[in-house]
Amino acid sequence: MTDAEIDAAVAADPGWAEFETVDWSKAAVVTPPRKQAISICLDQDLIDYFKIARPGLSAAHQPSCAAM
């Protein structure tokens, strides 16, 4: 997208109306603290529930775990 297209999309989005007057030049990049990997033991019925309720959930989180 070009800058003009981005500006037009933002102007058309009512969710951004409250941010129109924000001075973004004073914004700072904030790096969140590194996450700590943990291991837990869960009952099989709980694991089965989440596999049915959210197929692919584990695979979706693999890239975020690898980035730690």
Confidence of residue 31 (pLDDT cuts 50, 70, 90): very high
Place of tokens 């030049």: 25
**Is residue 6 one of the residues assigned to a domain?**
no
**Is residue 50 one of the residues assigned to a domain?**
yes
- The parent domain of residue 42 ranges over 38-68
**Is residue 43 one of the residues assigned to a domain?**
yes
Looking at the structure of the chain, the number of domains it has is 1
Higher pLDDT: 43 or 57? It is: 43
Side-chain-side CA neighbours of 12 within 13 Å: the count stands at 6
Place of tokens 């709980």: 46
In this predicted structure, the answer to whether residue 27 has a pLDDT above a threshold of 80 is yes
